[in-house]
């Protein structure tokens, strides 16, 4: 999937775009790591009790020049995109997802479209 200026997670009715005030050091403060090709990537567990358990993950990747991004929620092994919004069993995952996204909005990395 190509990196674009707007993005959404499967099942989430909200779309997000890159904030015009985004800074590289803010990404690093939030836990993004630089990949081999210079992109910035974040993988966070959506388990609200422990970040170390095998749980669904939020994956966010920004282009090296911060002109595009992609985001998705995957299974614990990161291989399959899933919809955490369709069942009540994953309500805790949804809450943790919103916490992470709200933090990125507050730090001017993303903004809601």
pLDDT, tens digit, for every residue of 51-78? 778 899 999 999 999 999 999 999 999 8
pLDDT, tens digit, for every residue of 76-94? 998 999 999 999 999 999 9
CA pair distance 50, 29, nearest whole angstrom:
20
Sequence-separated (6 or more) residues with CB below 8 Å from residue 3: 39, 61, 62, 63, 67, 68, 69, 70
pLDDT (0 to 100) of residue 1: 58
DSSP 78: S
């Amino acid at each position: 999937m190509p990196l674009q200026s707007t993005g959404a997670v499967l099942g989430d009715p909200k779309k997000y775009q890159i904030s015009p005030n985004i800074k590289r050091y803010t990404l690093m403060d939030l836990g993004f790591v630089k990949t081999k090709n210079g992109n910035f990537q974040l993988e966070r567990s959506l388990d609200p009790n422990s970040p170390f358990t095998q749980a669904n993950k939020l994956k966010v990747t920004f282009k090296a020049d911060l002109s595009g991004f992609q985001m998705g929620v995957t299974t614990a092994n990161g291989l399959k995109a899933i919809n955490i919004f369709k069942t009540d069993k994953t309500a805790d995952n949804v809450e943790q997802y919103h916490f992470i996204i709200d933090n990125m909005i507050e730090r001017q990395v993303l903004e809601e479209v």
